[in-house]
Amino acid sequence: MLSHKFRTVEDSCALAIAIVNTVREPLVVLDHDLRVIAASRAFYRTFKVAREATEGHLFFELGDGQWDVPQLRAVLGKILPERGTIEDFDVEHEFLNLGRRTMSLNARQVVYEGGTEPTILLGIEDVTDRRALEAEKDSLLAEKDILLSELRHRVANSLQIIASIIMLKAKRVTSEETRSHLQDAHNRVLSVATVQKQLQVVSGGRVDIGSYLSKLCAALAGSMIADDRAITIKVAGEGGTATCREAESIGLIVTELVINSIKHAFNLEKNQGQITVTYDVSGGDWKLSVADDGSGRPSGPYAQRKEGLGTGIVTALARQLNAEVDTVSGPQGTSVSITHAVVAARKVRAA
């Protein structure tokens, strides 16, 4: 609120006109009938119109009716009755002397003390180049998404071919140890292919982890669980979203842990059960867990200090996500949790 007292009305008007003319973008003052009371020098310079053809005329009649847009009429007509505003209202038109341009309009009501009729202050900004750059950026992002999806598709197909070749080799070898290693290699290559395939449908932005894990686990169940094994995979939790890179790491962790549960948790004595994959988010924290109700692995790779290949993969991926791994294994089954806690991480760094 201005504390300076003007001696005359003319002095206050002089200040108002000086402010209007100082603004670099075109500015127009309209009365309650939407007639032009005053316009800035930038307005006259930009639209190349004369003062006598502007002041006192209806705004919609200016420049051979170039502002006569039905939607603009509607929103300007509501400002005074509803004491509203206009924010970033785009008008695209073939403007006289300018060609086709996009103008962004911002307007608000100005109320005076003493009973003077309110007016409308209307700012106009030429955003043609900005909108063109935004459209180009959106086009490039869309093109990038298409190329990324195509790349994931080709990678997934190539990996599936490699997995098939490995499995053919595994069937031909006579050494049980070699066959076991080849089958492990086949499963891991296929797991990466599965993750890539599930990420194909993602086009930029963030990945819905609940839907992503549901599709991933359905694919794993179909490819990794034999028909004679009564093992089910359930996805639970409130879900959340993650970037494509985070989703890829989360998918690889889930795939590795699910494969290990299928392979180790359910043996000849217990050839049926359930694997539960849970993902929950709270603010910036999230927790992923893969638990089974199998026979447990108290002496297996996840319970021993010496890490196996599976443990190393999970630990490395968790480290990339700034998360910690915790494993609990016993007669009732095994649960592996991957926890990302922002507050805990900050405390560790502070210590």
The answer to whether residue 179 is domain-embedded is yes
Whether residue 213 sits in one domain with residue 194 = no
> Is residue 119 located within the same domain as residue 75?
yes
Range with the poorest average pLDDT among 56-65, 167-176, 299-308: 299-308
Domain contains 274: yes
**Where is average pLDDT lowest: 41-45, 53-57, 342-346?**
342-346
Same domain membership, residue 188 and residue 236: no
Question: What pLDDT does residue 29 have?
Answer: 87
- Checking if the pLDDT of 92 tops 70, the result is yes
**Are 19 and 104 in the same domain?**
yes
Query: How many distinct structural domains can be found in the chain?
Result: 3
Q: What are the structure tokens assigned to 168, written together? A: 């053919």
152 exposed, middle or buried (CB, 10 Å; 0-12, 13-18, 19+)?
A: buried
What is the predicted pLDDT for the residue at 291?
Answer: 92
* Domain final residue, candidates 84, 99, 126: 126
Examine the domain organization and report whether 268 and 209 are in the same domain: yes
In this structure, is residue 43 part of a structural domain?
yes
User: Could you tell me if residue 196 is inside a domain?
Assistant: yes
Do residues 117 and 31 make contact, with C-beta atoms less than 8 angstroms apart?
yes
- At 95, which CATH number? 3.30.450.20
Q: Is residue 342 part of a domain?
A: yes
pLDDT of 200 reads: 65
Which residue bears the tokens 């050839």?
Answer: 271
Higher-confidence residue of 185 and 297: namely 185
For residue 159, the model assigns a pLDDT of 74
Total length of the chain: 351
Task: With a cut of 90, say whether residue 3 has pLDDT above it.
Answer: no
Residue 308 confidence class, pLDDT cut points 50, 70, 90? low
Q: What is the pTM of this model?
A: 0.52
Choose the final residue of a domain: 97, 126, 155.
126
Q: Are residues 282 and 163 in the same domain?
A: no
With bands split at pLDDT 50, 70 and 90, how would you rate the model's confidence at 276? very high
On whether both 215 and 230 belong to a single domain, the answer is yes
| Domain annotation covers residue 133 | no
Domain containing 306: what range?
205-351
Domain assignment present for residue 2? The answer is: no
Res 342: pLDDT: 64
Does residue 132 belong to any structural domain of this protein?
A: no
